[in-house]
Structure 1
Amino acid sequence: MDRDTWREIFENDLENRGVFDVWNFSVDEHYQERMGWQQYVQCCYARFYCSICGRSWVSSKVHILFHMKLKRRTGQARMHVFKQKCKMCTAAKYEEPTFLVENIEIAIGNLVNKIAQKFYNLPIANLPRNFVTDARHDGPHDYNNCEGCALGICKCDTDIQYSDKRHILPKRTNQGSQQKKKRFPLPNTYAHHQSLLQPLRSAYSDREETGVGESSHYIVNIPSDEQIDSSGPCCIIL
């Protein structure tokens, strides 16, 4: 996961929103509860690669947890992305996902919106709520191999709409060629299937977030006998 890309987009979005306090953006390798922090959870689309067998799979239920805190005009935003295991390998480890750049921009835009509203009483900007997909994601969520489910973070509410990449970003489509640009950094073992593109629907909801000490956790109980992982996107305020 390219941490510098996340940090750069975060800093640019804060400046564009007129927030000039110093905010530090960092990534937590392991999940931590942070008492007294505001937290914001989004559910995004991403791809995983198994470091053992080379298998790849996509999921539209990749939870991203943000913790936010502002003190003496210095803010901190910490991110933890919940990982997934390959269900084909008995000794599989949790793998980090790879995100489309467009989805990083959307996730960070939503986060900056929360910061602007919560800490500065700024109006919510009208941002696109559609995460971009580049493959089918209509299979059940593999909760047995999901770190978010193991920690009780996952929830089966669906609230962010997914969109075909060609529909949401027509300017990135090469009209003069049948071959489309691959957005993921693909290893040699991965065959990219552009023919499987199709949009799915869901809805967006939003609630007032609270501190971690008041959060409620849910576990999704969904069958896991399909290879493609997705029970639909969601965005949770715990």
Structure 2
Amino acid sequence: MKVLLIEDEPNTVAYLRQGLAENGYVVDAEGSAELGLRMAARGVYDLVVLDINLPDRSGWWVLKELRGADCRTPVLCLTCCGDVEDRVQGLDLGADDYLTKPFAFSELVARIRSVLRRGAERQPDVIRVADLEVHLTRRQVVRAGGRVRDFRPKEFALLALLARRAGEVLSRTTIVEHVWNADFDFETNAVDVQIKRLREKVDDPFERKLIHTVRGVGYVLEDRG
């Protein structure tokens, strides 16, 4: 899952980026309402975590603009204001949840999972392609009835993306946009390295191969019989 964090407090950003990354999320962060809105409107994020007190405009403005543009990306609002009126305003503007600062990180993660579960376009918790099973919540992979060894966060994020869009050829640019954050260096071969590691775990021990290269285009996960 890819998360956009719109928050201007550097210590909070660093804390949340590290914690969310440790929980398997890919995180981009932006400190202004204007730039945060532009990033959110791209539609590549599974969730926006939105601070309300931003330096240029209010988070309420960001939320209103997103919903006015028919962007349905789930939004979890963070704010120091815990009044009922503020919570009602956020929910009326289209927020999916509301968390008051200070908060426990474990609660934030639980609320993120809850919001994603409630999403109207939520994918099944287990994605199956041939004899491969990708368990999204448990972050486990099963091939031919046996659990495949543990995956690093980027490996699992890449496999989950390929599984969600099984049968669709994904370009390297598309993969980067969904699996890496905005700091990715396109001059590296990180995508190819991660694909190689995935194949070593998911394909190499088995006769039937599921991860395929489409030369000059990208990669696809599919059963070719």
TM range (shorter): under 0.3
Larger relative helix fraction: 2
* TM-score normalized by the length of structure 2: 0.25
Structure with the greater alpha carbon radius of gyration: 2
Greater relative contact order structure (CA < 8 Å, 6+ sep): 1
